[in-house]
Amino acid sequence: MRYGSVCSGIEAATQAWHHMGWEPAFFSEIEEFPRQALDHHYPDVPCHGDFATIGEDDYGSIDLLVGGTPCQSFSVAGLRGGMADERGNLALEYLKLAQRKRPKWVVWENVPGVLSSNGGRDFGAFLGGLVECGYGWAYRICDAQYWGVAQRRRRVFVVGYLGDWRRAAAVLFERESLSGNPPPSREARKEATTPAGERIAAFDKQRLGQYGNGEVSSTLAARDYKDATDLVAEELSVRRLTPTEAERLQGFPDCFTQIPYRNKPADKCPDGPRYKALGNSFAVPVVRWIGERIQAVEGLANAED
């Protein structure tokens, strides 16, 4: 499977899919720190700037287009500008790129606020645009805590397949999921976030509305961790999450974002850009599951043919 990634950030998709042998044809990112991270980890993959300028013939054909266009205009914490916001309009640019490149599959991610933005009309416009481009689609809200990381992170994932909604639905929905999400696994979260099963932090249960509970972190945000929701209550004190803890909560390897930056060595990499890049990222285990489901559906389709 050859894919193109837009609004790539630190590229959770490639981290999630490399074990399947999938090949990135290109990345697209405009922010400085994520671009440095991409160049550090994937120096042989071209990194485009503004994905709206990617042409039909650029980087060859792709089988899948993945991206999470900026969420700020759809977030309930933002101004809810929706498609009228310049950032929201990047969702439409994503559709235009899909129209130019014509991949079989599209995978798009955003915050749950997109469902109610502008009375639901913005999300409806996006789904309608997929249909106009020839894609059948399905969407689902996935919470990362049910995929083995200790973080509440609810995100809308849309999967589209060129010409057939049934294959898109087969990716996102399993028979077991029709009765709701299974209860989160305490052991899975501990293994995913700490070496040797040790706890990252002991959360102060008296601060549960504020900092999460004793098992699950609050959602990582795309900022430099100055907000109360970005803190950990540990016994009788409050501290910030470390960058390594944030990496684990998103499913990345330890020190993945500790890179050479602005002519300084990796051990001098500042924390602020690392926090922001991780808060902007997909949760790796969720995207891994989607990729594995796409591969399974592809395998069934090939067997039928």
In tens, the pLDDT along 69-78 reads 875 555 444 4
Q: For position 237, what pLDDT does the model report?
A: 61
Q: Determine which of 43-52, 74-83, 163-172 has the lowest per-residue pLDDT on average.
A: 74-83
Alpha-carbon distances, residue 223 vs 133, 169, 264, 271 (angstroms): 35, 34, 22, 11
Supply the pLDDT for residue 236.
56
- Give the residue among 238, 219, 239 at the shortest CA–CA distance from 229: 219
Kindly state the tokens that stand for 234: 């540990």
pTM of the model: 0.82
- What digits encode the pLDDT tens for the residues 89-110? 788 889 999 999 999 999 999 9
Whether the predicted pLDDT of 82 surpasses 80:
no
Domains and CATH numbers, the chain: 2-173+286-304 (3.40.50.150), 186-280 (no CATH)
For the cut 70, the answer to whether the pLDDT of residue 255 exceeds it is yes
**pLDDT, mean over the chain:** 82
| Cβ 10 vs Cβ 278: under 8 Å | yes
Does residue 137 contact residue 107 with C-beta atoms inside 8 Å? no
As annotated, the active-site residues are 71
**Least confident span in 62-71, 171-180, 224-233:** 224-233
The distance from CA 225 to its chain's CA centroid, rounded to whole angstroms, is 19
